[in-house]
Chain A
Amino acid sequence: MTEIFGVPTQALFGQLLIGLINGSFYALLSLGLAVIFGLLNIINFTHGAQYMMGAFVAYLLANKAGLGYWWSLALVPLIVGATGVVIERLMLSKLYKLDHLYGLLLTFGLALIIQGLFRNEYGTSGLPYPMPAELSGGTNLGFMFLPNYRAWVIVASAIVCLGSWFVIEKTKLGSYLRAATENPALVQAFGINVPRMITLTYGFGVALAAFAGVMAAPIYQVSPQMGADLIIVVFAVVVIGGMGSILGSILTGFGLGIIEGLTKVFYPEASNTVIFIIMAIVLMFRPAGLFGAQK
């Protein structure tokens, strides 16, 4: 069997695919962050907590209302997105004229509060969420055993990511959104309700996080700190991709997932730092990120 640096090529294919799957989560989450930062100029540190809420609401729907995975996939983004709308209306909307730092502090504080509340109620060991019966089992690809659910994760997240990119970059609605970030007063003068659009945009970004949370529930334990651990990595992804760049965050999310996957084979001890090393290197040479506009 051919080997690359002592690792059989077959194993390498498996790891590339795994990297792509983890990249799907990074892409979904960093996309939401990028949308929110791009249009609201808010660094949404609550994103990890909202991802966690997505998983928890799915758990609660299953255990209190008897609604399964597919219902959750549809309902949870709406429910958690609605809480996002409330947060934006009551709190974030007061901060747009202030420095980024205020938004960051507010959202970070909110994240700690939300995580604390869930931790008090549910502890940290996590809760089980069953795999949907339709997606259990897996396929032997020859070079690896691919669980059906993981395949679904790649497909679903690619569809959602590309769909969001399409709406924002290629449709009329998206052009309003982009125009409103450039010059809200002018867009308002054309009769478009800019504040409402911004509120809904935040709700949409939060819904993306919740969607990722539902996707994650059957794979990871549903636990209060599941988002806190992930969000730092996702922020690094956004910084590498370029703050506010939609396509950049998607591509970087998938790409870094793969790089991290490879690190887990060649030098697993470094797998949780490799993304930050890349971030440091990218910032040295391209301070605005790989896909960000250099100002």
Chain B
Amino acid sequence: MKLKQTVIAAAIAAIAGTAGTASAQVSDGVIKIGVMNDMSSLYSDIAGPGSVIAARMAIEDFGAARKGMKVEVLLADHQNKPDVGSQIANQWYDVDKVDAIFDVPTSSVALAVNEITKKKGKAFLVSGAATSDLTGKACSPNTIHWTYDTWMLANGTGSAIVKTGGDSWFFLTADYAFGHALERDTEAVVLKGGGKVLGKVRHPLNAQDFSSFLLQAQASKAKIVGLANAGGDTTNAIKQAAEFGIVKGGQSLAGMLVFLSDIHGLGLDMAQGLIFTETFYWDLNDQTRAWTKRFVAQSKGKYPTMVQAGVYSAVTHYLKAVEAAKTDDGTKVIAQMKAMPTDDPLFGKGTIRKDGRKLHPAYLVEVKKPSESKGPYDYYKVRATIPANEAFRPEKDGGCNL
């Protein structure tokens, strides 16, 4: 019973409004994109309003107005509930004539929207959700999984840790689709590397207090406590692990999914030395820095996460595909997106696989010590770059039958 404000599904800001005649194949003469995510709870700093800013920047940079394309952005808060997300998706597709839905963190919600999108022949570009099932058994001709996934995280972080001697694991797992997928994918990597899993505990989403679970992890004597959770759950677990002397006792924490905003929330004192995998970091090169500067100007000083960057990249490529295919029909646009190589300032050049997996490099990063950090959000050292063809699960292993 989580009482919250009712679903906002308020249409906002018609961007690029002036040009009157759009291409005849674009339904109602306007391309409507919906950004659906957690706007008010534990994942809203990861995605939230920042994803909307990123979507708008993409439309602006694409030059929709100049090209005579009319693009509108809608936003909604799915409250991390699959039923709420499904209801918004249905309403958007049927009533509001939305052509494509973007972002959708929280894997359980994304899987629900994935099904609806497929049934209605629209387009779904996932940036926020993690479950690798979106390009595996739940793959769809109408969905592209953009930014990252559980297999990539497990492969990047998990194998790096196993290689450096972290061969016995205990999992703290968020008890829903995402946590289960992340735990499963990481366990596979650990076992493959010759390690073993000593135990696991499934905690409810948004659990606040982890002391009980941490005691169980401590008692297991596992070398690595793997956090198969995200957002506030991860930061609270890390903070309380320090309190209970987990790290001092010789065990190490592995944050399987950590975002820039989490590190900001924890502070470098608490987070230093953590190793994890990202596909975007604002301080990678001149292009990412320039883009981030513009983003920060609109986000009240918050730096972009990889999810928000992924929304920018996905919207950019979506609009290019609509322009090339001269239609906003979901199935056709997705096919067009897969046919064209991707290119944007944040993720560089990339491709999209038949199963809907967008490919780009991943970065194994380590959180800096407070003394190494030179300015705001100067948090990561990039330890290794995992090339695009190794970062994600091979197509044949996913079980997608597209």
Residues of A within 8 A of B (CB): 8, 11, 14-15, 18-19, 21-22, 108, 112, 116, 119, 123-128, 130-131, 138, 144-145, 147, 149-150, 219-221, 223, 225-226, 228-230, 232, 261, 264-265, 268-269, 271-272, 276
Does B261 lie at the interface of the complex (its beta carbon under 8 Å from any beta carbon of A)?
yes
Does B344 lie at the interface of the complex (its beta carbon under 8 Å from any beta carbon of A)?
no
A221 to B219, Cβ gap below 8 A?
A: no
B202 to A268, Cβ gap below 8 A?
A: yes
Q: Which residues of B contact A232 (CB under 8 A)?
A: 1-3
Bound Cα distance from A217 to B114, whole angstroms = 39
Q: List 11 A-B contacts (CB under 8 A).
A: A116-B40, A119-B40, A124-B41, A125-B235, A144-B215, A221-B265, A225-B40, A229-B206, A264-B201, A268-B212, A272-B204
Q: Which residues of B contact A145 (CB under 8 A)?
A: 218, 244-245, 249
Please, which residue of chain A has its CB at the minimum distance from the CB of B209? Answer: A22
Bound Cα distance from A138 to B214, whole angstroms = 15
Known pairs A15-B212, A232-B1; A221 contacts B232 (CB<8 A) = yes
Contact of B45 among A21, A124, A219, A271 (CB under 8 A): A124
A109 smallest CB distance to B (angstroms): 10
A11 to B302, Cβ gap below 8 A?
A: no
A268 to B45, Cβ gap below 8 A?
A: no
Residue-wise, chain B 207-237 has the 8 Å CB interface mask toward A (1 for contact) of 1110111011011000000000001100110
Q: Which residues of B contact A225 (CB under 8 A)?
A: 40-42
B98 smallest CB distance to A (angstroms): 25
A271 to B232, Cβ gap below 8 A?
A: no
Known pairs A219-B240, A220-B208, A225-B41; A124 contacts B218 (CB<8 A) = no
Known pairs A221-B235, A268-B203, A271-B204; A123 contacts B45 (CB<8 A) = yes
Known pairs A226-B208, A232-B1; A123 contacts B235 (CB<8 A) = no
Please, which residue of chain A has its CB at the minimum distance from the CB of B44? Answer: A124
B232 to A223, Cβ gap below 8 A?
A: yes
Please, which residue of chain A has its CB at the minimum distance from the CB of B260? Answer: A125
Instruction: Give the dominant DSSP class at A's interface.
Output: helix
A196 smallest CB distance to B (angstroms): 32
B40 to A147, Cβ gap below 8 A?
A: no
Number of interface residues of B (CB under 8 A): 47
Please, which residue of chain B has its CB at the minimum distance from the CB of A123? Answer: B45
Q: Which residues of A contact B133 (CB under 8 A)?
A: none
Residues of B within 8 A of A (CB): 1-3, 5, 40-46, 48, 175, 201-204, 206-209, 211-213, 215-216, 218-219, 231-232, 235-236, 239-240, 243-245, 249, 261-262, 264-267, 269-270, 302
Q: Which residues of A contact B245 (CB under 8 A)?
A: 138, 145, 147
Contact of B231 among A108, A125, A130, A229 (CB under 8 A): A125
Bound Cα distance from A130 to B215, whole angstroms = 22
Please, which residue of chain B has its CB at the minimum distance from the CB of A257? Answer: B209
B278 smallest CB distance to A (angstroms): 16
Number of A-B contacts (CB under 8 A): 122
Q: Which residues of B contact A126 (CB under 8 A)?
A: 232, 235-236, 265
Bound Cα distance from A247 to B262, whole angstroms = 39
Bound Cα distance from A159 to B204, whole angstroms = 31
Top-8 shortest CB links A-B: A125-B265, A128-B267, A264-B212, A272-B204, A125-B45, A126-B265, A125-B261, A123-B45
Bound Cα distance from A220 to B235, whole angstroms = 9
A269 to B2, Cβ gap below 8 A?
A: no
Known pairs A124-B41, A124-B232, A128-B270; A219 contacts B239 (CB<8 A) = yes
Q: Which residues of A contact B40 (CB under 8 A)?
A: 116, 119, 124, 225
Bound Cα distance from A223 to B209, whole angstroms = 14
Contact of B211 among A21, A112, A226 (CB under 8 A): A21
> In the complex, given contacts A219-B239, A225-B41, A271-B212, what are 10 additional A-B residue pairs having Cβ atoms less than 8 angstroms apart?
A14-B219, A22-B211, A119-B40, A126-B236, A128-B239, A147-B243, A219-B209, A219-B243, A223-B265, A264-B212
A76 smallest CB distance to B (angstroms): 20
A34 smallest CB distance to B (angstroms): 20
Q: Which residues of A contact B208 (CB under 8 A)?
A: 220, 226, 229-230
Please, which residue of chain B has its CB at the minimum distance from the CB of A222? Answer: B265
Q: Which residues of A contact B264 (CB under 8 A)?
A: 125
**Most chain B C-beta atoms within 10 Å of own C-beta, residue among A116, A119, A149, A150:** A119
Bound Cα distance from A18 to B262, whole angstroms = 25
A221 to B236, Cβ gap below 8 A?
A: yes
Q: Which residues of B contact A261 (CB under 8 A)?
A: 212
**Most chain A C-beta atoms within 10 Å of own C-beta, residue among B43, B48, B208, B267:** B208
**Most chain B C-beta atoms within 10 Å of own C-beta, residue among A116, A125, A150, A225:** A125
